[in-house]
Structure 1
Amino acid sequence: MSHLHLMLPADIWMQKIFDAKAAREGGVVRRSTRDVERIVGRSRFLNEVQRRGYHAVENSGQIVIFCNNDRVQVLC
């Protein structure tokens, strides 16, 4: 990805995440924790995830968003 995200306002950057094909189809998207915190802030981002009824997990500097309302289960 280019450095275009550095020029986007936080609202547009966040909207692009949820407009991604995978998100629209109820799939999974991921973003770096660093980008989330720097561009929109963790609290604001997680509030939007919850508002949509989605779930998110974090591991190794990545936030994975499950763009559906299904239950998430960690298997091991």
Structure 2
Amino acid sequence: MAVGSPLSPAAWLDDIFASKAAIRGQVIRRNARDIEKFVGRQTFENELKRLGFQAAENAGQVIIFCNREPIRRIA
């Protein structure tokens, strides 16, 4: 079980990707520290790859693009 979370790492990931935004193919944001703490970076990245999603990290926040569309940096 993840330290500090009542959910197992798998349940924590399931909870994120079962959100309305994720199901709709939208964008969600999570604290990078929480990802490290509750599931671990490698497990998180493996799940992104399995789902075909992408993510970006900035200032301690991870933006998860819950779709397979390309990402284009604007500036």
Fold in common (TM above 0.5): yes
Partner Cα separation in structure 2 for residue 42 and residue 10 of structure 1 = 11
The within-5 A match list for 1:31-70 is 31-70=30-69
- Tell whether 2:15 aligns with 1:19: no
TM-score if structure 2 supplies the norm length? 0.91
Tell me the SS of whatever aligns to 2:7: coil
Q: Which runs of 4+ in 1 moved over 4 A?
A: none
Structure 2 residues not aligned, in runs of 5+: none
Tell me the SS of whatever aligns to 1:64: strand
Partner Cα separation in structure 1 for residue 49 and residue 28 of structure 2 = 15
Tell me the SS of whatever aligns to 1:63: strand
Partner Cα separation in structure 2 for residue 9 and residue 44 of structure 1 = 12
Spell out, residue by residue over 1:11-48, the C-alpha distance to the aligned partner (whole angstroms, 9 max, x if none): 10110000000000000011100000011000110110
TM-score if structure 1 supplies the norm length? 0.90
Partner Cα separation in structure 2 for residue 26 and residue 67 of structure 1 = 5
One-letter amino acid matched to 1:49: L
Tell me the SS of whatever aligns to 1:70: coil
Identical aligned residues as a percent: 43
Structure 1 residues not aligned, in runs of 5+: none
One-letter amino acid matched to 1:8: L
One-letter amino acid matched to 2:64: I
Q: How many residue pairs were aligned?
A: 72
